Amino acid sequence: MKPSGTSNKLKHLAVSTTQGLAGDLLRESQYVFLYRTKLPECAVSLTMPIRAQSYAGNVLPGVFRQNLPEGYLDLWIRHHFGKTMKMDDMAMLGITGASMIGRVTFSPPAIENHPVADGESLGEILAWKGTEDLFEYLSNKYAATSGVSGIQPKVLLRNKDADSDVVEKSTIKAKSVIVKSSGEDYPDLAENEFLCMSIAKKAGMEVPDFWLSENRRLFVVNRFDLRDGEFLGFEDMTALMNRGADEKYSSSYENVAKAVSLFSSPQFRNHSLRELFRSVVLSILVRNGDAHLKNFGMLYTHPGSNDCRLSPLYDVVNTTCYIPKDTLALKLNTTKAWPARNDLALFGAKHCLVDRPGHIIEEIAAAAMDFMPDDPSSRIWAAMRPVIAQSCFTLTGKGYVSGASLSEQSSASPPKVSG
């Protein structure tokens, strides 16, 4: 992929949606987006209705910047393309914009795109036993077409196993997956996320299908923004609240609940609020201190489809394994301290309109306490387990005794956690 012509600064992108062409994004003294359609279903965002007047600002509209690469992907792209083009946000959209989370895509008229890769076998990724670094290979092949945010190393790719028996067919809902690696700073992060998502699944929460590679180095998850071969609209809370990625920790779960209530279609509002509460409870129980604004989002067919609801759960990890004194990512009841049961229940009742918040807390804690991984001796589970047990005791008064069922643990003393 390289710029054509004499200028190495990208100033124009055509913007499309699943429903058709939307308009043009221009880089002038400001970013300017102008609709080229009158079809309401082609609107790019829940917050940007079609109008004759352009949208202009010093930063990209939220729905455009939410998928800008961060961390590993950002560095990889800048390293590989920085010599031939000016690497600003427009260039990032030009490089990754044809394959992004959600229904909005970008077409750079001044850039020649490489042919889209055929994809990889999910079964082979999960069973990889080679000596080469598999994620490095995947990065070299797919990083430039991975429009996904997040600090953790990850790439988007097509899974070719949908029509094979390598991976159980019933678990393949889409051909597109996200592959995540642990990275050097956070060892065992892939297995960490797999375990937390497994607890969520055990608790009956809505999660996409996911897998852990046999060598436990890669976490693979199905994209949930695909339905019947078409991309759904997805907007995270930074987009909906008009916050930058650097502001993703600057809000509260109460504000997230307000946004979920505001943007949910009426028939999905109560369910979405309930699922938001369940996700916050889970993050507190597994000590996920990274449940920030970008880790909550709304899913819909198009802005006028009346089916907008909270997206399935994603990006849940135990962070206190790496940062022992970590806190909540967002405020709850004006503080980022881990909440007591009463404060959490009040949030559920007052802001998420849940009738029995205490029952939900008990239910998810039970799933966390009863969960047992396939390898209980794994290094990361040994670090996570006592922390989860302590948080469950804090919120339910029930401790953990090895070998005892949850119902037998109510009288157990709280476990001691070092550090």
Residues composing the chain:
419
Of the pLDDT bands very low, low, confident and very high (cuts 50, 70, 90), residue 165 is very low
Q: Find, among 39, 43, 195, 10, the residue nearest to 112 by Cα.
A: 10
Q: How far apart are CA 198 and CA 217, in angstroms?
A: 16
Give the per-residue pLDDT at 172: 32
Residue 387 domain-assigned (yes or no): yes
User: Is 290 among the residues known to form the active site?
Assistant: yes
User: In terms of pLDDT, which residue wins out, 116 or 250?
Assistant: 250
Yes or no: say if 232 and 297 are a contact pair by the CB < 8 Å rule. Answer: no
Q: What is the mean pLDDT of residues 301-320?
A: 96
Residue 127 domain-assigned (yes or no): no
Residue 324 domain-assigned (yes or no): yes
What would the pLDDT profile of 350-404 be if each residue is shown by its tens digit?
999 999 999 999 999 999 999 999 988 899 999 999 999 999 999 998 765 443 4
Give the per-residue pLDDT at 130: 63
Burial class (CB in 10 A: 0-12, 13-18, 19+), 394: middle
Stated as kind and residue range, the H or E segment containing 364 is helix 357-370
The two tokens of residue 393 are 């005791």
Of the pLDDT bands very low, low, confident and very high (cuts 50, 70, 90), residue 168 is very low
pLDDT > 70 fraction of the chain, expressed in percent and rounded: 85
Q: 303: number of CA atoms within 13 Å, CB side?
A: 18
Q: Name, in order, each residue with C-beta under 8 angstroms of 135's C-beta and a sequence gap of 6 or more.
A: 153, 155, 179, 181, 217, 218
What would the pLDDT profile of 311-353 be if each residue is shown by its tens digit?
999 999 999 999 999 999 999 999 999 999 999 999 999 999 9
Does residue 417 surpass a pLDDT of 50? no
User: In terms of pLDDT, which residue wins out, 151 or 204?
Assistant: 204
What DSSP string describes 251-273? SBHHHHHHHHHHHS-GGGHHHHH
The total number of structural domains that make up the chain:
1
Does residue 129 surpass a pLDDT of 50? yes
Angle (CA) 31 236 99, round 5°: 70
Q: Find, among 71, 32, 84, 69, the residue nearest to 54 by Cα.
A: 32
Yes or no: say if 16 and 23 are a contact pair by the CB < 8 Å rule. Answer: no
Does residue 1 surpass a pLDDT of 80? no
Give the per-residue pLDDT at 151: 67
Domain that holds residue 241: 231-408
Residue 88 domain-assigned (yes or no): no
Give the per-residue pLDDT at 126: 86
Give the per-residue pLDDT at 414: 36
Indicate the DSSP class of residue 339.
P
Residue 221 domain-assigned (yes or no): no
C-beta neighbour count of 275 within 10 angstroms: 20
CA 344 to chain centre: 23
Of the pLDDT bands very low, low, confident and very high (cuts 50, 70, 90), residue 212 is very high
User: In terms of pLDDT, which residue wins out, 356 or 150?
Assistant: 356
Residue 148 domain-assigned (yes or no): no
User: In terms of pLDDT, which residue wins out, 29 or 408?
Assistant: 29
Q: How far apart are CA 260 and CA 277, in angstroms?
A: 11
Give the per-residue pLDDT at 400: 52
Q: What is the mean pLDDT of residues 55-82?
A: 89
Residue 55 domain-assigned (yes or no): no
Give the per-residue pLDDT at 418: 31
Q: What is the CATH number of the domain that holds 267?
A: 1.10.1070.20
C-beta neighbour count of 65 within 10 angstroms: 19
Give the per-residue pLDDT at 132: 62
Angle (CA) 289 343 189, round 5°: 15
Give the per-residue pLDDT at 344: 98
Of the pLDDT bands very low, low, confident and very high (cuts 50, 70, 90), residue 120 is confident
Q: How far apart are CA 5 and CA 75, in angstroms?
A: 25
Does residue 244 surpass a pLDDT of 90? no
Q: How far apart are CA 265 and CA 128, in angstroms?
A: 43
Helices and strands (H and E) in the chain: how many: 12, 16
Q: Find, among 161, 153, 155, the residue nearest to 120 by Cα.
A: 161
Give the per-residue pLDDT at 175: 57
Q: Which residues pair with 298 in a beta bridge?
A: 235, 310
pTM of the model: 0.86
User: In terms of pLDDT, which residue wins out, 68 or 54?
Assistant: 54
Of the pLDDT bands very low, low, confident and very high (cuts 50, 70, 90), residue 6 is very low
Mean pLDDT of the chain: 86
Q: What is the mean pLDDT of residues 269-297?
A: 98
Give the per-residue pLDDT at 382: 95
Catalytic residue among 290, 315, 343, 355: 290
Q: Which residue has the tokens 């047992």?
A: 372
What is the bridge-based pairing of β-strands 105-107 and 210-212?
A: unpaired
Q: How far apart are CA 223 and CA 209, in angstroms?
A: 8
Residue 87 domain-assigned (yes or no): no
